[in-house]
Amino acid sequence: MRTRKWTLDEQAGFLKRTGELLQRGYPLSEAIESLAYHLPDYRKAAISDSLNDLKEGHPFYRVLTNLKFNPTLIGYVYFAEQHGGLAEAFIDGSAIMERRSKEISSLRKILYYPLFLMSATSILFFFVQHTLLPRFTSLFSSMDLDTNFFTEAVMLAGTLFPIFAVLFLALAAASLLYYSFRFRHLPQLDQKRRLAMLPAAGPLIRLFYTQYFTAQLGYLLGGGLSVSEALLLFQRNPQQPFYSELGESLKIRLRTGEKLDDILSGFAFFQEDLCQIIRHGERNGKLGQELRFYSIHCMEAFEQKVTAGLKIVQPVLFSLIGALVISMYLAVMLPMFHLLNGL
HEC per residue, 320-343: HHHHHHHHHHHHHHHHHHHHHHHC
Q: Which fold has domain 8-97?
A: Receptor-associated Protein (1.20.81)
Question: Cα separation of 32 and 234, whole Å?
Answer: 26
**Beta strands, E only, 172-290:** none
**Nearest-5° Cα angle at 31, 29 to 33:** 70
Tell me the pLDDT tens digit for each residue of 104-127.
Answer: 787 777 777 777 877 887 787 777
* pLDDT score, position 343: 54
| Stretch 217-243: mean pLDDT | 89
Over pLDDT 90: what percentage of the chain?
32
**Nearest-5° Cα angle at 299, 295 to 305:** 140
| Stretch 215-227: mean pLDDT | 88
Question: Cα separation of 228 and 250, whole Å?
Answer: 9
Tell me the pLDDT tens digit for each residue of 39-68.
Answer: 888 888 888 888 888 888 888 988 898 888
Q: Reply yes or no on whether the pLDDT at 284 is more than 50.
A: yes
Q: Reply yes or no on whether the pLDDT at 185 is more than 70.
A: yes
Record the pTM. Answer: 0.77
pLDDT band at residue 147 under the 50/70/90 scheme: low
pLDDT band at residue 249 under the 50/70/90 scheme: very high
Q: Reply yes or no on whether the pLDDT at 145 is more than 90.
A: no
Question: Cα separation of 94 and 169, whole Å?
Answer: 38
**How do the domains of the chain map onto residue ranges?**
8-97, 102-343
Can you state the angle between helices 149-181 and 86-127, rounded to 10 degrees? 140
SS3 content of the chain, % helix, strand, coil (to 5): 80, 0, 20
Question: Cα separation of 193 and 77, whole Å?
Answer: 26
* pLDDT score, position 271: 93
* pLDDT score, position 106: 76
How many residues are present in the chain?
343
